[in-house]
Structure 1
């Protein structure tokens, strides 16, 4: 008996609402929204950064794509951005929070440790405290 052609291809939408493309990549609305929000917040933050911090953020922006695998590979870039956002204080808080949401979507466990270094936030970035 011949196999149905429909069973050869992944469903265009899986049960979680994630769009599955024929090339095997997945992109969901939550991830796209998180990346877009983070990109907007980083652009808003850039005017208050030092030139070195701004250069790091400018270099990180092209790495922010709604691709889970690519973002997981760019963990050091995300960590650098998190550290910069944490060091600028309250003005950087929205970026740190957006990164936390993005890390959660990527499957990173964040903010669950009951004990963490006193000069680091829940995402492992330095708070700038002495």
Structure 2
């Protein structure tokens, strides 16, 4: 006997007949709004998780970015630091995508 276990993630739709079928209506609750502090904490958390998977040079650059993020109180310095962290995340492809998304969210919340 073979193992035919399947795991589905996402929507599974079966339609039999009918007229005027328009698609799926999702009723998801909106995500809770983050504060800028929460967004920056998420950036730090994801960066820490990513750093262990980076080559030494990239890890050092990320550490410098995180140190700069702690030192940058606000304004243009914090924006530049977040952009530097985003650049590192972008260079590692899909591995860095969660961090890249988190940086984007932080920049939006900070009005940068």
Name the structure 1 match of 2:15. Answer: none
SS at structure 1 position matched to 2:80: helix
Name the structure 1 match of 2:39. Answer: 34
Instruction: Say if 1:46 and 1:54, in contact at 8 Å, map to a contact too.
Output: yes
What is the TM-score of this pair, normalised by structure 1?
A: 0.54
Instruction: Say if 1:45 and 1:92, in contact at 8 Å, map to a contact too.
Output: yes
Task: Number of aligned residue pairs: give it.
Answer: 79
How far apart are the structure 2 equivalents of 1:47 and 1:98? 18
Matched, 1:47 2:85: no
- Looking at CA atoms only, which structure, 1 or 2, has the larger radius of gyration? 2
Alignment of 1:10-89 (within 5 A): 30-65=35-70, 69=74, 71-89=75-93
In structure 1, list runs of 5 or more residues that go unmatched: 1-28, 109-130
How far apart are the structure 2 equivalents of 1:75 and 1:32? 14
Q: CA deviation at 1:52?
A: 1.1
Name the structure 1 match of 2:101. Answer: 97
Q: CA deviation at 1:64?
A: 2.4
Instruction: Say if 1:72 and 1:106, in contact at 8 Å, map to a contact too.
Output: no
RMSD: 2.2
Query: Which gives a bigger RCO, structure 1 or 2 (Cα 8 Å, sep 6+)?
Result: 2
In structure 2, list runs of 5 or more residues that go unmatched: 1-33
